[in-house]
C-alpha cells in the first residue's frame, strides 16, 4: 500500500529481527526509513538494500542505543537525512534471562540502559524534529505485564517501565496529536528467540495458536499504528502473542 507515502521514519535496531521487518514494511508502505544498529554492518546493509529496492530512501546509522549521546546523534542525523521525523519505532532491546538467585545489579543496569534509557533518550532527541500528528511506537513485550516463565524478572521490569513512559508521553503529546503506543510481542522467531532454540521447546506449547509469531506479523501491526488509520489509538498497550498471555 501507499498509506505511509511521504512519511519519514526511524527504526532503532533495524538491522535484524523485528526491527528489520518493521523497516522493510514501513518502506513497502511508502516511508523513507533510517535504521540504527549496534555492530552488524552486513545486516544493516541488507535492510537498507530492501528499503531502496522498495523505491524509498534508506540509511543505516551505527549507534549504541544505550549511549544517550550516540542516540541523540543518530536521531539528529536521521532528521537531517530525511528532512524530519514523522514516525519513531523504538525497537532495539535485549534480555538477560536468569532466576533471581543468580541475578546481579549489572544485569538490570545493562537492560535498563538499552530497553528503557535508550527509548527515553531517543524520544527526547526525536521530538524537536517531529511535526504534529507523528507517531511513537515502542516495541515492549508481553513480559511487561505477565511473567509466564521463570527468569524474566529484570527483562519484564524494563518492558513494564516503557509502558509508564508511553502512557505519560501519550498524555504529554496529545496536544500535538503525536500518538504513542506500545506493541507487546509474545515469542517471535528472531536471532534473540529462534524457533530452533531450547527456549522454544518450553514456550511453543504455551502458545494457544501453537506456533511462534513472525517478525513480519509484528511489522504489520506496527505499520498500522504508524498509519492514519490508527488515528484514535494512543496510550495503548497492544499484545501480539498468539494468545500466549491469555
Ligand atoms: P534481535 O536480537 O533479533 O535483533 C536486535 C536488533 O537490535 C539488531 O538489529 C541489533 O543490531 C539491534 N541492537 C542490539 N543492541 C543494540 C544497541 N545497543 N544499540 C542499537 N541497536 C542494538 O532482537 P529481536 O528482533 O528479537 O527483538 C527486537 C525487540 O523486540 C526487542 O526490544 C525485544 O525485547 C522485543 N521482543 C522480542 C521478542 C522475541 O520473541 N523475539 C518478544 C518480545 C519482545 P545488530 O544487528 O547490529 O546487532
Question: Using one digit for the tens of pLDDT, what is the confidence trace for 223-242?
Answer: 999 999 999 999 999 999 99
- Mean of pLDDT values over 128-139: 98
Predicted structure pTM score: 0.99
Predicted pLDDT of residue 175:
98
- Mean of pLDDT values over 99-119: 98
Ligand 1 center to residue 39 CA distance, Å? Answer: 12
* pLDDT at position 1 over 90: no
In this predicted model, what pLDDT tens digit does every residue of 157-209 receive, in sequence order? 999 999 999 999 999 999 999 999 999 999 999 999 999 999 999 999 999 99
What ipTM, to 2 d.p.? 0.99
Predicted pLDDT of residue 110:
98
Name the closest-CA residue to atom 39, ligand 1: 188
Q: Is 58 in the pocket of ligand 1 (CB under 6 A)?
A: no
Q: Is 43 in the pocket of ligand 1 (CB under 6 A)?
A: yes
Contact of 66 with 117, CB cutoff 8 Å: yes
Q: Is 212 in the pocket of ligand 1 (CB under 6 A)?
A: no
Q: Is 234 in the pocket of ligand 1 (CB under 6 A)?
A: no
Name the closest-CA residue to atom 10, ligand 1: 13
Predicted pLDDT of residue 43:
98
Cross-strand pairs, 60: 35
Q: Is 36 in the pocket of ligand 1 (CB under 6 A)?
A: yes
Q: Which domains does the chain have, with CATH numbers?
A: 8-240 (3.40.50.720)
Predicted pLDDT of residue 230:
98
Q: Which atom of ligand 1 is nearest to the CA of 191?
A: 3
Nine-digit cell string for 118: 535508550
Candidate from 15, 18, 188, 222 with most ligand 1 atoms within 8 A of CB, to mutate: 18
Candidate from 10, 11, 12, 13 with most ligand 1 atoms within 8 A of CB, to mutate: 13
Beta-sheet pairing, 87-90 with 237-240: unpaired
Average of per-residue pLDDT values in the chain: 98
Percentage of the chain surpassing pLDDT 90? 98
Q: Is 15 in the pocket of ligand 1 (CB under 6 A)?
A: yes
- The 3-state secondary structure of the chain reads CCCCCCCEEEECCCCCHHHHHHHHHHHHCCCEEEEEECCCHHHHHHHHHHHHHCCCCEEEEECCCCCHHHHHHHHHHHHHHHCCCCEEEECCCCCCCCCHHHCCHHHHHHHHHHHHHHHHHHHHHHHHHCCCCCEEEEECCHHHCCCCCCCCHHHHHHHHHHHHHHHHHHHHHHHHCCEEEEEEECCECCCCCCCCCHHHHHHHHHCCCCCCECHHHHHHHHHHHHCHHHCCCCCCEEEECCCCCC
Ligand 1 center to residue 115 CA distance, Å? Answer: 10
Ligand 1 center to residue 14 CA distance, Å? Answer: 8
Name the closest-CA residue to atom 2, ligand 1: 192
The total number of residues shown for the chain amounts to 246
Which sequence positions are flagged as catalytic? 155
Amino acid at each position: 500500500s501507499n498509506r505511509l507515502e511521504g512519511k519519514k521514519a526511524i527504526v532503532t535496531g533495524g538491522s535484524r529481527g523485528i526491527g528489520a521487518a518493521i523497516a522493510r514494511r514501513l518502506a513497502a508502505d511508502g516511508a523513507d526509513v533510517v535504521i540504527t544498529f549496534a555492530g552488524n554492518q552486513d545486516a544493516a546493509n541488507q535492510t537498507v538494500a530492501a528499503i531502496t529496492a522498495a523505491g524509498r530512501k534508506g540509511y543505516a546509522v551505527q549507534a549504541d542505543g544505550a549511549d544517550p549521546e550516540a542516540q541523540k546523534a543518530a536521531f539528529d542525523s536521521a532528521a537531517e537525512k530525511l528532512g524530519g521525523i514523522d514516525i519513531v519505532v523504538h525497537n532495539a532491546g535485549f534480555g538477560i534471562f536468569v532466576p533471581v538467585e543468580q541475578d546481579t545489579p549489572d544485569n538490570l543496569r545493562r537492560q535498563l540502559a538499552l530497553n528503557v534509557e535508550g527509548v527515553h533518550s531517543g524520544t527526547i532527541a526525536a521530538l524537536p524534529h517531529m511535526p504534529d500528528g507523528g507517531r511513537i511506537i515502542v516495541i515492549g513485550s508481553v513480559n511487561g505485564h505477565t511473567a509466564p516463565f521463570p527468569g524474566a524478572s529484570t527483562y519484564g521490569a524494563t518492558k513494564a517501565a516503557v509502558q509508564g513512559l508511553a502512557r505519560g508521553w501519550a498524555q504529554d503529546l496529545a496536544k500535538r496529536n503525536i500518538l504513542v503506543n506500545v506493541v507487546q510481542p509474545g515469542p517471535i522467531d528472531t536471532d534473540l528467540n529462534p524457533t530452533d532454540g531450547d527456549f522454544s521447546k518450553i514456550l511453543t506449547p504455551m502458545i494457544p495458536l501453537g506456533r511462534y509469531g513472525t517478525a513480519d506479523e509484528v511489522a504489520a501491526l506496527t505499520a498500522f499504528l504508524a498509519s492514519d488509520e490508527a488515528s484514535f489509538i494512543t496510550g495503548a498497550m497492544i499484545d501480539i502473542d498468539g494468545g500466549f498471555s491469555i
